[in-house]
Amino acid sequence: MKQLDTALGLGAVRGPLGRILKFGLYVLVVFVFAGPLLALLVSAFGRVTDPTKLSLIPHDLTLDNFRTAFDQGVLRYLANSLIVVGGGLLLQITVSVTAAYALARKNFPGVRLILFLILSTMMLPEEILAIPLSLVLADVPVVHVNLVGTLAGMIVPVGAWAFAILVMTEFMRDVPIELEEAARLDGAGDLRIFWSVILPVCRPALGVLGIFGFTMIWDQYILPLLVAQDAHQFTLALALRSLRADEQVGTGVLIASALLALLPSVVVFLALQRQFMRGLTSGAIKG
Amino acid sequence: MTRRHASAWLWLAPALILFTLFKFVPMARAISMSFKEVRPYLGDRWVGLDNYRTVLGDDAFRSAAGHTVVLALGETIGSILAGLALALLLEGTARHLWIVRTAVFLPTVTAMAVVAALWRVIYYPAPDGALNAVLGGIGLGPGQYLDSPHTALWSVMAVGIWRGAPYDMMIFIAGLAGVDRTLYEAAAADGAGPLRRLWHVAFPAMRPVFGIVVTLAAIRGLRVFTEIFLLTNGGPNGSTEVVMTLVYKLGLERNELGVASAGSMLLLLATVVLTVLAQLMRRRA
């Protein structure tokens, strides 16, 4: 009963007309949603002098756009972006797995309150905190460090992400307690247990954290905007705006730089797609 | 037992420190600043609800709030309708469907900065700009898009839907996958066609999923900042100014930190009310 596989039963549509219609619809949606990104890829390697030359069909192939972009310091912005995403992701994962270990496996007074406080920040859009956050970054309480104008200012705040803690805590709760008890009988301490019993079991969840964290940090705009003081600290995302405003560089360079900002996220997404979909549906369905 | 509790706090310490410094302290500051006139070097002055009165009485804020609501509503409804249509078209386990879904999903993982740079080029208002060339091919006249106060907000909305619909699609597909297939068979046995099956079986089963998608999309819509900041920065002529871009300008360009904080708090209040309402509705459903 093939036509009962899906809600509309489109898989059962046969016959030349039905097939052509279906194929046409697939082409249309791919054109609308992926076409613009494909045009970015194609045009980055073409001679694009002004915005009207965006095209899906390769012509006048050249690497000039990238050459000029590199002259404009785009490699440095790319390096900054990679440093921020690498450092931010490492910090975010470390913070989330250690917190999740305590929240999921330790029964201590206040555990529910802490979890509630952390999860309540999911309701708190980062945009709303932008202004006070910029004040905090300029003079971090207690330690009195100024993070404005440093890449660290873009890295440290992304360590606090409630979604990652939620995903990890829920996953660790399902790890059978017997595994831990057996290790404890063998005389293993907390650190040993965490490192060689809990973490290996949590590998699927670590994949979810990795792909979501990468996408979240790569998409960051407000935080770098608040932190960067001059072009030395620009990430690629920030640089795209100033490249656009620069009359001298032209659309080709902007498009080539946008492609450099696009590729890492697409590559990471395609590589970890399965984990991404799992996180998307589990996170969303659980709210 | 205290030793074990101490170790739990040790495991939590990195998270607690970061959340305190970068979430709770800024939150507390925002609340406190919203009741104060912030004066660097002179010390802040308590002004009670004055900042809130200023914000609520300000025409610019009201018009920005209006744009925010229109944008949030339009993007929510648009993304859901388009996402649902995509989900129904692309649901299934066949390999070619999986490939099409992957291609369609790409806008969602693309950084907003890239999306904005790309769409500014696509929207280029010359007659031979990319979108005008495509639309011209099917006989639609050249538009000004982001450059005209009449179309800028709708153009921003279209970009939001373009990026939001694939996300909703994936959640709908997950929801559709969870519908009991025996219900489809029962409906077919009763002589129901695909459309009636969709309306009477699939949609009712997906009610919780609709609730989640609506909530997520509406919250996403209210906080909108980056796409406006990069696509139009509130222009032309204030026609796309939203609450967050106005707050940003007040706070970081005009240094009116108290008024800006009051504006943020009102937006936060709207977000929290919406979230709680959605939770209540979900519980009742």
- Confidence at A287, pLDDT banded by 50, 70, 90: very low
Same-domain status, A113 and A30: no
Query: Can you tell me the distance from the alpha carbon of B36 to that of B47, in angstroms, rounded to the nearest whole number?
Result: 5
Test A254 with B110 for CB contact under 8 angstroms. no
Please tell me chain A's helix, strand, coil percentages from 3-state DSSP, rounded to the nearest 5.
75, 0, 25
Residues near B239 by beta carbon (within 8 Å), at least 6 away in sequence: B67, B149, B150, B152, B153, B232
What amino acid is encoded at A16 in this protein? P
Name residue, tokens 């192939």. A61
pLDDT for position A281: 66
Same-domain status, A206 and A90: yes
Same-domain status, A85 and A181: yes
**In chain A, which residues have their Cβ closer than 8 Å to the Cβ of B105?**
33
Domain ranges of chain B: 52-284
CB-based contact (8 Å) between B244 and chain A? Answer: yes
Same-domain status, A201 and A253: yes
- Interface list for B 25-84 with A (CB within 8 A): 25-27, 29-30, 33
Test B122 with A124 for CB contact under 8 angstroms. no
B interface test, pick of A30, A117, A131 with most B CB neighbours within 10 Å: A131
B interface test, pick of A65, A96, A128 with most B CB neighbours within 10 Å: A128
Same-domain status, A27 and A166: no
Q: Mind listing the pLDDT tens digit for each residue in A125-184?
A: 888 899 999 999 998 988 889 999 999 999 999 999 999 999 999 889 888 888 888 888
**In chain A, which residues have their Cβ closer than 8 Å to the Cβ of B271?**
123, 125, 128
**3-state DSSP call for residue B183?**
helix
Same-domain status, A123 and A239: yes
pLDDT for position A285: 43
Same-domain status, A127 and A237: yes
CB-based contact (8 Å) between B12 and chain A? Answer: yes
What amino acid is encoded at B42 in this protein? L
Q: CA of B141, closest CA in chain A: separation in Å?
A: 16
Q: What is the CATH number of the domain that holds A155?
A: 1.10.3720.10
Test B100 with A26 for CB contact under 8 angstroms. yes
pLDDT for position A2: 52
The rounded percent of chain A whose pLDDT value lies above 70 is 96
pLDDT in tens, chain B (285 residues): 566 678 888 999 999 999 999 999 999 999 999 998 888 777 888 888 889 999 899 899 999 999 999 999 999 999 999 999 999 999 888 889 999 999 999 999 999 999 999 999 999 888 888 888 888 888 887 888 998 888 999 999 999 999 999 999 998 998 888 888 888 888 888 888 888 888 888 888 888 788 778 877 888 888 899 999 999 998 888 899 999 999 999 888 888 899 999 999 999 999 888 888 877 776 765
Same-domain status, A56 and A175: no
B interface test, pick of A127, A154, A163, A227 with most B CB neighbours within 10 Å: A127
- Which of A51-60, A137-146, A241-250 holds the top average pLDDT? A137-146
Q: Region A225-250: what's the mean pLDDT? A: 87
Phi-psi region at B48: left, alpha or beta (left = phi > 0; alpha = psi -120 to 50): left
Name which of A78, A87, A79 is nearest A260 in CA terms: A78
Boundary residue ending a domain (A67, A100, A122) = A67
Same-domain status, A54 and A80: no
**3-state DSSP call for residue B257?**
helix
Q: Which of B128, B181, B257 sits opposite A131 (nearest CB)?
A: B257
- Confidence at A122, pLDDT banded by 50, 70, 90: confident
pLDDT for position B285: 58
**3-state DSSP call for residue B37?**
strand
Q: Region A51-66: what's the mean pLDDT? A: 81
Boundary residue ending a domain (A67, A101, A121) = A67
CB-based contact (8 Å) between B255 and chain A? Answer: no
Same-domain status, A61 and A87: no
pLDDT for position A1: 45
Q: Mind listing the pLDDT tens digit for each residue in A189-203?
A: 888 888 988 899 888
In CATH, the number for domain B52-284 is 1.10.3720.10
- Confidence at A3, pLDDT banded by 50, 70, 90: low
Same-domain status, A14 and A110: no
Query: Can you tell me the distance from the alpha carbon of A209 to that of A165, in angstroms, rounded to the nearest whole number?
Result: 9
Residue A38 lies in domain: 2-67
Test B252 with A123 for CB contact under 8 angstroms. no
**3-state DSSP call for residue A287?**
coil
Q: CA of A133, closest CA in chain B: separation in Å?
A: 5
Test A280 with B106 for CB contact under 8 angstroms. no
Cα R_g (chain A), whole angstroms? 24
Boundary residue ending a domain (A46, A67, A88) = A67
- Confidence at A242, pLDDT banded by 50, 70, 90: confident
Q: Are A270 and A63 in contact (CB under 8 A)?
A: no
Q: Region A36-64: what's the mean pLDDT? A: 84
Q: Which of B129, B174, B268 sits opposite A128 (nearest CB)?
A: B268
Q: What number is the ipTM of this complex?
A: 0.90
Cα angle at B237 between B231 and B242, to 5 degrees? 55
pLDDT for position B2: 62
User: What is the number of structural domains in chain A?
Assistant: 2
Query: Can you tell me the distance from the alpha carbon of B280 to that of B285, in angstroms, rounded to the nearest whole number?
Result: 9
Test B18 with A236 for CB contact under 8 angstroms. no
Same-domain status, A156 and A183: yes
